[in-house]
């Protein structure tokens, strides 16, 4: 059987892939050696800017199957009947470290799902925690800068990490999650995923509901202690990637059950705390989990760069029946995610195979730009309206309109009767066993005791005291003991 011929990128056959063309046997190389220049130029450009956050990631393909009727709450087509299946791509990631970081570290995990629906791609972008550190996107760059490498030292600095948290009391809830037992998942397969934000569902009658998504792992929750995480990171920095890849390759397909919490839109205004605050959870006693379907991952990407690194998720990719809420962090991310991909991958990143619709075809008037591949022929127009049978608007909004009132300007979120930055952090602490509390205290004290300024330590201690008196006392005692050693 004859072998296929190696060619240049323009398709010309390559005569010699072992030796560069030179001026004589021992002479300098020739500029006319197209194959050499093409190989070196492409090699120089093999890497794109890594994500500022969520750089270190893994991904897999699979399917989502509806198991329960939710048509009373949304008219989204991919959720319209029990048994309906939709192809998905899921990307997991750490948040703070760079592309070369280790997997088994104490850090939130990204949990992003792309549903290739018949009405277009729906991206659900979340984490493995139901809350986040901040509630307003204007603070997001500051938060990330405080958690990543210092511009001078080139490493993560406890002073920066805890200084930001000292000035962000709303972070206390997420800090309690992060420093607790679930701060280092044993693998991507053994953690939950959450939409985290509040979203809107709209049914066929136009009724609006606010929802929160919960992907519960069917493998069971498994986590690592601080010591186990350090050992794992040293043995195999790619431990989560290795686990996911090998499990799927040997036919062990990880799965999650999707549940939602559903709040009738009319109840949001008078709920006891702001239901659109990303630093808070909705108590299950108020809004119990309702099962929706099952997510299964059963196929590894063939090329990690093409399909994981170039995968682009954006929470503004909605489908009919699903839309945004007044969640401020979500509102900021509706712009920021898509803009990050336009920077990293180019304006035509949606034409890449992993990002393009699979169950339908994108039809619009976008043309040209870097790596454009949608010329669409000589008769296709690039303006609308037109008289040439181009795609037209439907006149049907994807979701129900959100009511607005008041004056433009910068506003703090209106206070509800039970709004507070510490109560839910205290509730989480009080749910823990004595052993879980002890590990949480040790994890917090291990970081906070390294802070150089006493006033910064005192500000953070005040947050734990406000969450729960015992919580604050134990953290304070543990920090003092470590600083006196």
Active site residues: 54, 127
SS3 content of the chain, % helix, strand, coil (to 5): 30, 15, 50
3-state secondary structure of 230: helix
Task: Give the per-residue pLDDT at 405.
Answer: 84
Q: φ and ψ at 43, to 5 degrees?
A: -60, -40
pLDDT at residue number 258: 98
Q: Is 356 exposed, middle or buried (0-12, 13-18, 19+ CB in 10 A)?
A: middle
Q: Flag residues of the chain having pLDDT under 70.
A: none
Three-state DSSP class for 98?
coil
pTM of the full predicted structure? 0.93
What are the Cα distances from residue 325, in Å, to 217, 283, 330, 403, 415? 26, 19, 8, 11, 17
CB 164 within 8 A of CB 142: yes
- H-helix or E-strand containing 458? helix 454-467
Output the pLDDT for position 296: 98
pLDDT of residue 410: 82
Whole-Å CA distances, 243 to 187, 363, 432: 7, 39, 28
CB environment 36-48: b (16+ within 10 A), e (fewer): beebeeeeeeeee
Q: How far apart are CA 258 and CA 112, in angstroms?
A: 13
Q: Which residues, 6+ apart, have CB-to-CB distance to 133 below 8 Å? A: 143, 165, 168, 170, 171, 174, 175, 279
């Amino acid at each position: 059987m004859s072998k296929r011929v190696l060619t240049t990128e323009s398709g010309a056959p390559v005569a010699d892939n072992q030796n560069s063309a030179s001026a004589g046997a021992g002479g300098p190389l020739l500029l006319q050696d197209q194959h050499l220049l093409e190989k070196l130029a492409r090699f120089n450009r093999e890497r794109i800017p890594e994500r500022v956050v969520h750089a270190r990631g893994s991904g897999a393909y699979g399917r989502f199957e509806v198991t329960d009727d939710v048509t009373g709450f949304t008219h989204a087509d991919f959720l319209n009947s029990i048994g309906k299946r939709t192809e998905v791509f899921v990307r997991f990631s750490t948040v703070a470290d760079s592309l070369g970081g280790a997997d088994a570290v104490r850090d939130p995990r990204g949990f992003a799902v792309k549903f290739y629906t018949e009405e277009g791609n729906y991206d659900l972008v979340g984490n493995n925690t139901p809350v986040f550190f901040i509630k307003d996107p204007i603070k997001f760059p500051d938060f990330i800068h405080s958690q990543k490498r210092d511009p001078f030292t080139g490493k993560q600095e406890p002073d920066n990490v805890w200084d930001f948290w000292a000035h962000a009391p709303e972070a206390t809830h997420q800090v309690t999650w992060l420093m607790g037992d679930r701060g280092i998942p044993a693998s991507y397969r053994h953690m939950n995923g959450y939409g985290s934000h509040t979203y809107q569902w709209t049914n066929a009658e136009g009724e609006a509901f606010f929802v929160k998504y919960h992907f519960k792992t069917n493998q069971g929750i498994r986590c690592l202690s601080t010591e186990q995480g350090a050992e794992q990171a040293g043995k195999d920095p790619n431990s989560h990637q290795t686990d996911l890849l090998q499990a799927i390759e040997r036919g062990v397909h990880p799965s999650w059950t999707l549940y939602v919490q559903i709040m009738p839109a009319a109840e949001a205004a008078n709920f006891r705390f702001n239901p659109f605050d990303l630093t808070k959870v909705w108590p299950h006693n108020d809004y119990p989990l309702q099962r929706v379907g099952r997510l299964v991952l059963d196929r590894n990407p063939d090329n990690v760069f093409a399909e994981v690194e170039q995968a682009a998720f954006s929470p503004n990719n909605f489908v009919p029946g699903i839309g945004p809420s007044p969640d401020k962090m979500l509102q900021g991310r509706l712009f920021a995610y898509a803009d990050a991909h336009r920077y990293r991958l180019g304006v035509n990143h949606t034409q890449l195979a992993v990002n393009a619709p699979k169950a339908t075809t994108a039809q619009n008037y976008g043309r040209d730009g870097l790596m454009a591949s949608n010329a669409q022929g000589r008769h296709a127009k690039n303006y609308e309206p037109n008289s040439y049978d181009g795609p037209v608007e439907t006149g049907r909004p994807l979701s129900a309109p959100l009511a607005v009132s008041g004056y433009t300007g910068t506003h703090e979120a209106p206070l509800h009767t039970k709004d507070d930055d510490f109560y839910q952090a205290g509730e989480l602490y009080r749910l823990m066993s004595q052993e879980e509390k002890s590990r949480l205290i040790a994890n917090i004290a291990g970081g906070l005791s390294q802070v150089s300024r006493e006033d910064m330590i005192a500000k953070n201690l005040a947050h734990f005291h406000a969450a729960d008196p015992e919580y604050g006392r134990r953290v304070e005692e543990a920090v003092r003991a470590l600083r006196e050693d």
